[in-house]
Amino acid sequence: MKKFWLFALIFLIATSLFNAQTLKSPDGKFQMDFSLKNGVPYYNLSYLGKTVVEDSKLGLRLLKDGDIKFASEIDSKENQGKNLNDGFVKTAEKTDSKNETWQPVLGEKKNYINNYNELAVTLTQPSNDRYIIIKFRLFNDGLGFRYEFPQQKNLNYFVIKEEDSEINFPTDMKAWWLAGDYDSEEYQTQTSNISEIPKLWPTSYDGNASQTLIKNAVQMPLMLKKEGKEPLYINLSEAALINYSAANLDVDAKNFSFKTHLTPDAQGAKGYIQTPAVSPWRTIIVSPKAENILASKMIFNLNEPTKYKDTSWIHPTKFMGVWWEMIIGKSQWAYSTADNVHIGITDFSKLTPNGKHAANNEKVKKYIDFAAANGFDALLIEGWNIGWEDWFGHSKEFVFDFITPYPDFDLPMLNDYAHSKGIKLIMHHETSGSATNYERWAPKAFDLMNKYGYDAVKTGYVGNIIPRGEHHFSQWMINHYQRIVDLAAEHHIMVDSHESIRPTGLNRTYPNWIAAEAARGTEFEAFGGNNPDHQTILPFTRYMGGPMDYTPGIFQTQLNYYFPGDKRFVKTTLAKQLALYVVMYSPLQMAADLPENYEKHMDAFQFIKDVALDWDDTKILAAEPGDYIHTARKAKGTDNWFVGGITDENARDYTVDFSFLDPNRKYEATVYEDGKDADYINNPQSYHIYKKIITSKTKLPMHLVRSGGYAISVKPVK
């Protein structure tokens, strides 16, 4: 009998060992433990021996195969044991590792390093005779994991009720969060402890043209900070969101725990899966230094290399736009005074012009002239096409055809005029959320672009989605954005998507998806305002997955310049606007203000003209989310550097240490800094420009006024 117990003990230990598995990062600092407890998968994560993530459950709940009508019965007996979250035994495990260097088509560095150890656990449900794989990749900057659903006899199609991936933290932390939503990321970031989120959530958002809030949920990328003597910065996000719905995170504020909350479709289903398939990666980037969060390329490493053989048609683009004047209300997108038009029926040439249509031949030519004279690549023109009279708010499906210009917009003439001056026109496709209609017309619209040599399109998704009941972040729309990017690639067109899903590193795979908005951009300075700390947070959140078309460069920040008594203003100094071109990475950058405002400050405008868009190297010099960011970048194929620093609502001093420069060269620095009397409220246009010879030993003290900043252009002295 004693012998029996001994064998039993050995068996238990063996089983336990077999069910648990440890993975370490290449540098040995991170450890991830996977375990099965009563058939349920768990993982945890530690850094330097200290728990970062406590034991957290993994798994998915399913709806009955293909039959959405059973959505309300998911928890009925019929579905018990049919989910993919329990009843598992581990039937295989496989480890792998990689250490490679790859080059992005456009990026912040010449080389990105992809270095991880991998554990793939095969989990079988004997009761259903089917299996899934959970794959973990542990990098030197954190953890990524995803679900894989191999094609097999008993797992061909399923419908997701919810993905229940937990991320449980041992303690309360500071969080920079947006209210959870299925349709909009255009909210102000809230800063609070996790434990305070439920209290603050109800007042954490404002109205939006399309919004479906998720109570007590927050959006990803989510930035967290464990404060104290040994601070730890943590970023939660997702990578490679393809053919799956986007996730928010449900917050358990008492237990400092987060859980994925996918976006449903019109029927409440959260994903239609046909195997073989994989989920997006869930990413947990961790570092004691905030700078390392910004420097992390984990999200891009978790995306697939591009499949495009030829990427020569993808290029950085600096552009101006017939845009800001409509945003602030000085001009209009619409051509006429009509308020109810029918595409294909209404004769727009017979409507009464409203006299405020910006996209007219005369004005566009002036913009082209200015953009060309100042070395820009391109000009965006919004409001060029018929349909803006009633484009918004009516759930109208056939709102635009994307091919017919307004009567006062001579597309061939303006295109010829632009090309003759070296300017490309950027096409604008506002869909009004009517994605079905856009899919109908996109092939013709892209053919039109090819015919006239447009090579970039700004898409827009303002308003509720059609198919009605779908959301901006639901699987159908995720696939829609992808379809448009694919179609654009066939036409060698770059895409800048607005009001779309936030990027998840997909520009590695689809580098023509050159940028997106998908956050609260500069336009909101006119729609309700962005806080002074806004741009010190976005790089830690929205930018983690890819470039944003933030549209910086507003010099005339006070709107009472246009409209006496108007109290709206852009909460920034002019110098801070310049810094954004360095701090907020994008290969697509706009100079968003009106030419007349740049003409008054051509000395400062010079920085925008000079600044690079594609980089061989990037140094995050100093950063603290919500407080400040200082960044230096080395322009592609040159020894030119650009440095930018911004601060939040507090004035700060910072000394730029140029030790990143080549020690064997001398450089001329052109410094654009806040004027001594600059103030983002009372005197935003006060700036000071000077030149200085510097070396790698130079240490340059900078003073940033509240919501101020500086930009430095650094060129080798020949």
Give the footprint of a second copy on this chain (CB under 8 A): 65-66, 68, 151, 156-157, 159, 265-267, 269, 272, 274-275, 339-340, 342, 390, 393-397, 436, 439-440, 443, 464, 467-470, 476, 479, 483
| Min CB(156)–a second copy separation in Å | 4
Nearer residue to a second copy within complex by CB, 66 or 202: 66
Could you give the dihedral angle defined by the CA atoms of residues 250, 253, 255 and 260, in that order, rounded to the nearest 10 degrees? 10
Residue 294 Cα distances to 45, 297, 475, 545, angstroms: 21, 8, 28, 11
Is 158 or 680 the residue whose CB approaches a second copy more closely? 158
Supply the minimum distance, in Å, between the C-beta of residue 66 and a second copy: 5
Closer residue to a second copy, CB minimum distance, 440 or 492: 440
Q: Which is nearer to a second copy, 156 or 216 (CB)?
A: 156
CA 176, CA 174: separation in Å to the nearest integer?
A: 7
In this structure, what DSSP letter does residue 555 have?
Answer: S
Rounded to whole angstroms, the Cα distance separating 276 from 264 reads 21
523 annotated active-site: yes
Least separation in angstroms between CB 606 and a second copy:
47
Q: Cβ contacts of residue 373 below 8 Å, gap of 6+?
A: none
From CA 468, how far away is CA 682, in angstroms rounded?
46
What are the structure tokens assigned to 447, written together?
């053919």
CB 704 within 8 A of CB 572: no
Question: Is the CB of 210 or the CB of 331 nearer to a second copy?
Answer: 210
CA atoms of 586 and 569, how far apart (whole Å): 24
Q: How far is the CB of 443 from a second copy (least distance, A)?
A: 7
Shortest distance in whole angstroms from residue 372 CB to a second copy: 38
Nearer to a second copy, 183 or 377 (CB): 183
The nearest distance, CB 715 to a second copy, in angstroms, is 49
Residue 181 or residue 549: which is nearer to a second copy going by CB? Answer: 181
Tokens 């996209």 belong to: 359
Q: Which is nearer to a second copy, 127 or 151 (CB)?
A: 151
- In the chain, the amino acid numbered 302 is L
CA–CA dist 582, 579 (Å, integer): 6
CA 101 to chain CA mean position, Å: 23
- DSSP structure string for 667-684: EEEEEEEE-TT-BTTTBT
Q: Which is catalytic among the residues 166, 186, 238, 523?
A: 523
Smallest gap from residue 464 Cβ to a second copy (A): 8
DSSP 375: T
Which of 186, 549 has the CB closer to a second copy? 186
State how far the Cα of 293 lies from the Cα of 306, in Å rounded to an integer. 24
How far apart are CB 154 and a second copy at their closest, in Å? 11
Buried-exposed string 102-138: b where 16+ CB fall within 10 A, e elsewhere = eebbbbbbbebebbbbebebbbbbeeeebbbbbbbbb
Cα–Cα distances in angstroms (integers) from residue 444 to residues 437, 440, 497, 626, 715, in the given order: 12, 8, 19, 44, 45
Environment class of 353 (CB within 10 Å of its CB; exposed 0-12, middle 13-18, buried 19+): middle
- Residue count of the chain: 718
Q: What is the DSSP letter of 243?
A: S
By beta-carbon proximity to a second copy, the closer residue of 35 and 128 is 128
* Tokens, residue 415: 């295109």
Cα–Cα distance measured from residue 390 to residue 393, given in angstroms and rounded to the nearest whole number: 8
Cβ-in-10-Å burial (0-12, 13-18, 19+) of 469 comes to middle
The answer to whether the peptide bond before residue 467 is cis (omega within 30 degrees of 0) is yes
Q: What are phi and psi of 429, to 5 degrees?
A: -120, 85
Report the 10 Å Cβ neighbour count for 267.
12
Q: How far is the CB of 450 from a second copy (least distance, A)?
A: 17
Contact between 523 and 563 (Cβ < 8 Å): no
- Interior/surface letters 586-618, b for 16+ CB within 10 angstroms, e for the rest: bbbbbbbbbbebbeebeebbbbbebbbbbbbeb
- Minimum CB distance to a second copy, residue 353 (Å): 20
SS3 category, 689: strand
- Residues involved in catalysis: 523
